[in-house]
């Protein structure tokens, strides 16, 4: 691997854009993702910028248990995100459906059936520190050797 490539890897891992999409959660995980922005946890000090624009995102945080309203929409959204991209499932909902995965429910978990999920953060809801740790662990891998892999 060239030196240029490793410099690129390093730099890019410090500049990650995160978008989050709520596919039928209870809001608990939503506000824990928001809490990551707070000065206490301050996700931006790691070079991670959270906003809600999928078109410039690198990491998509998926929250929620996949309700029927999101059929196709989630997939469309996933396609709008430019490569390279990863999705992280935050909370129990996208992993197992949490308490909603019961008879008569409308949700259709897990989300990994619908889009590829790279990492999971269990917990209902996970602590901001846990979300942070997951994003940080995935961040260096998103762009790693992107040019090499593309060729």
Partner 1 sequence: MAFPIIPYIQEVTRLEWLRKFFFVKTAPLLTPPYFRGFPELTGKTCTHALFCMMACPAPGAIDVIRTPGGWQPRIHMGHCIRCGLCVEACPNGVLTSGRILESMFYDNTRLSFSFRIDVNTDLCMGCGNCAVACPVNKLIDAQMSHGGRASTDELLLKVSEGKCHVLHVEKCTGCKTCENHCPNEAIRVSRLLEAVHGQEEEV
Partner 2 sequence: MKRTVDVSVPIGPIHPCFKEPARVKCETKGEFVISAEVELGYMKKGIERIMRGRPWQEVMFLAERVCGICSVIHNMVFIEALEQMSTIAVPERAALLRVIVNELDRMQSHILANFSYCYTIEHETLAMYLLDVREHVMDELERITGARVTCAYIVPGGVRFDLRSEDVLHLRANLAVIEEEVTRYMHMFEGGPLIALRSREIGVLSRGAALEAHAVGPTARASGMPETDRRIHHPTYKKLGFSPVSRTEGDNYARIMVRFQEVLESISIIRKCLDTLPEGPIRGGGIPGAGEIAYSGEAPRGELSYFIKTDAAGRVVDISIQTPSIMNIEACCHYMLKGVSSLADVPSTFVSADPCIACTER
The site partner of 45 among ligand SF4, partner 2, partner 1, none (C-beta below 5 to 8 Å per kind) is partner 1
CB of 147 to ligand SF4, least distance (A): 37
Least spacing, CB of residue 67 vs partner 2, in Å? 6
Among the listed residues 23, 56, 52, 26, the one whose alpha carbon sits nearest the alpha carbon of residue 37: 52
Q: Measured in whole angstroms, how far is the alpha carbon of residue 39 from the centre of its chain?
A: 21
Residues 52-111 that bind ligand SF4 (CB under 6 A): 63-64, 91-93, 98
Out of 33, 98, 134, 139, the only residue in the binding site for partner 1 (CB under 8 A) is 98
| Residue 54 vs 125, nearer CB to partner 1 | 125
| Size of interface with ligand SF4, in residues (CB under 6 A) | 12
Least CB distance to ligand SF4 at residue 87 (A): 16
Per rule CB under 8 A, count of chain residues that contact partner 2: 43
b/e 124-146 (16+ beta carbons within 10 angstroms → b): ebbebebbbebbeebbeebbbee
First-to-final CA distance of the chain: 13
Do residues 88 and 58 lie in contact, with contact meaning Cβ atoms separated by under 8 Å?
no
Task: Work out whether 124 is an interface residue with ligand SF4 (CB under 6 A).
Answer: yes
């Amino acid at each position: 691997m060239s030196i240029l490539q490793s410099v690129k890897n390093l730099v890019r891992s410090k500049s990650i854009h995160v978008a989050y999409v709520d596919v039928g959660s209870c809001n608990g995980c939503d506000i824990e993702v928001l809490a990551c922005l707070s000065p206490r946890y301050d996700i931006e000090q790691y070079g991670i910028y959270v906003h809600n624009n999928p078109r410039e995102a690198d990491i998509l945080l998926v929250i929620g248990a996949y309700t029927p309203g999101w059929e196709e929409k989630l997939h469309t959204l996933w396609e709008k995100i430019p490569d390279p991209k990863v999705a992280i499932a935050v909370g129990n909902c996208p992993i197992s459906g949490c308490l909603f995965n019961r008879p008569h429910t409308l949700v259709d978990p897990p989300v990994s059936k619908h889009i590829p999920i790279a990492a999971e953060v269990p917990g209902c809801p996970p602590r901001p520190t846990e979300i942070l740790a997951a994003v940080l662990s995935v961040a260096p891998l998103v762009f790693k050797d992107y040019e090499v892999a593309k060729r």
